[in-house]
Structure 1
Amino acid sequence: MALEQDIADLIKSADRLTDTVDHKIQSIQAELNAKKAEIDSRLTAKEQAVEGYILNARNEQGFEVQNYNHDFIDLYDRGDIKLPVGMGLHADNPLNDYFDIEIIPVTSGAEPDKRHDVAQELLTAMNIGRGTQHFSGSFNILHLKHKANMPLPTKWVFFIPQQHVKTGQGASFLCWAKGKGFNWQMDTNMQWKQVVYAWRPSANPGTYVHIDVYMHEVGGELYLALPTIVTGVWPEGRVLGNLYSQKNEMYRKGAAWFDVSLFDAFHDGNTATGGDPANDRV
Structure 2
Amino acid sequence: MSIEQKLAEVVGSANALTKQVSGKISEIDREVDAIKQHAQTTINNAATKLGYIAINRNDKLVSYRTYTPPKGHGQVNKLPMWWGIQQRVLDHCHFELIRVFSGDTPEDRDPEAQELLDYMNIGSETLHFSGSFHILKITVLDKAVMEGDGADIYIADQHLKANPATSFLRYVKVNAKGRASWLDGDTNGKWLHKRFVNSSSRNGRYTHVDINFYDVEVGDEFFLALPSVVPGVWPEGKKHGALYNRYDRINDRITNIEGRLGDIEA
TM-score category, normalised to shorter length: 0.7 to 0.9
Q: Please, which of 81, 88, 94 is the counterpart of residue 84 of structure 2?
A: 88
Deviation of 1:178 after TM superposition, in Å, equals 1.7
Alpha-carbon distance change, 43 to 34 in structure 1, aligned in 2, over 3 angstroms: same
Secondary structure in 2 matching 1:169: coil
Deviation of 1:40 after TM superposition, in Å, equals 5.0
Q: Which residue of 1 aligns with 2:246?
A: 246
Q: Please, which of 197, 210, 214 is the counterpart of residue 208 of structure 2?
A: 210
Secondary structure in 1 matching 2:98: strand
Q: Within 5 Å, which residues of 2 pair with 1:4-19? A: none
Q: Which amino acid aligns with 2:107?
A: D
Note if 1:178 corresponds to 2:173.
yes
Q: Distance in 1 between matches of 2:203 and 2:106?
A: 45
Deviation of 1:103 after TM superposition, in Å, equals 1.7
Q: TM-score, normalised by structure 1?
A: 0.71
For the pair shown, the structure with the greater C-alpha radius of gyration is 1
Q: Which protein, 1 or 2, shows the higher relative CO under an 8 Å CA cutoff with sep ≥ 6?
A: 2
Corresponding pairs, count: 244
Instruction: Kindly indicate whether the alpha-carbon contact (under 8 Å) linking 2:153 and 2:211 is maintained by their aligned counterparts in 1.
Output: yes
Q: Within 5 Å, which residues of 2 pair with 1:95-114? A: 95-114=89-108
Deviation of 1:166 after TM superposition, in Å, equals 0.9
Note if 1:124 corresponds to 2:123.
no
Q: Which amino acid aligns with 1:167?
A: A
Q: Single out whichever of 133-142 and 143-152 deviates more from structure 2.
A: 143-152
Q: TM-score, normalised by structure 2?
A: 0.74
Secondary structure in 2 matching 1:230: strand
Instruction: Kindly indicate whether the alpha-carbon contact (under 8 Å) linking 2:83 and 2:155 is maintained by their aligned counterparts in 1.
Output: yes
Structure 2, unaligned runs of 5 or more: 2-9, 69-75, 259-266
Tell me the alpha carbon deviations over residues 170-215 of structure 1, each in whole angstroms, 9 at most, x when there is no partner: 1211111122232224323462433423326321121111111111
Alpha-carbon distance change, 252 to 142 in structure 1, aligned in 2, over 3 angstroms: closer
Q: Single out whichever of 78-87 and 68-77 deviates more from structure 2.
A: 78-87
Instruction: Kindly indicate whether the alpha-carbon contact (under 8 Å) linking 1:171 and 1:199 is maintained by their aligned counterparts in 2.
Output: yes
Q: Distance in 2 between matches of 1:26 and 1:159?
A: 69
Deviation of 1:246 after TM superposition, in Å, equals 2.1
Instruction: Kindly indicate whether the alpha-carbon contact (under 8 Å) linking 1:174 and 1:194 is maintained by their aligned counterparts in 2.
Output: no
Deviation of 1:124 after TM superposition, in Å, equals 2.2
Structure 1, unaligned runs of 5 or more: 1-11, 13-20, 262-282
Q: Distance in 1 between matches of 2:163 and 2:226?
A: 23
Q: Which residue of 2 aligns with 1:4?
A: none
Note if 1:162 corresponds to 2:157.
yes
Instruction: Kindly indicate whether the alpha-carbon contact (under 8 Å) linking 1:200 and 1:232 is maintained by their aligned counterparts in 2.
Output: no
Q: Which amino acid aligns with 2:204?
A: G
Q: Which amino acid aligns with 2:111?
A: D
Q: Single out whichever of 238-247 and 103-112 deviates more from structure 2.
A: 238-247
Greater strand content? 2
Q: Which residue of 2 aligns with 1:3?
A: none
Deviation of 1:90 after TM superposition, in Å, equals 2.2
Note if 1:230 corresponds to 2:224.
no
Q: Distance in 2 between matches of 1:167 and 1:37?
A: 42
Alpha-carbon distance change, 32 to 53 in structure 1, aligned in 2, over 3 angstroms: same
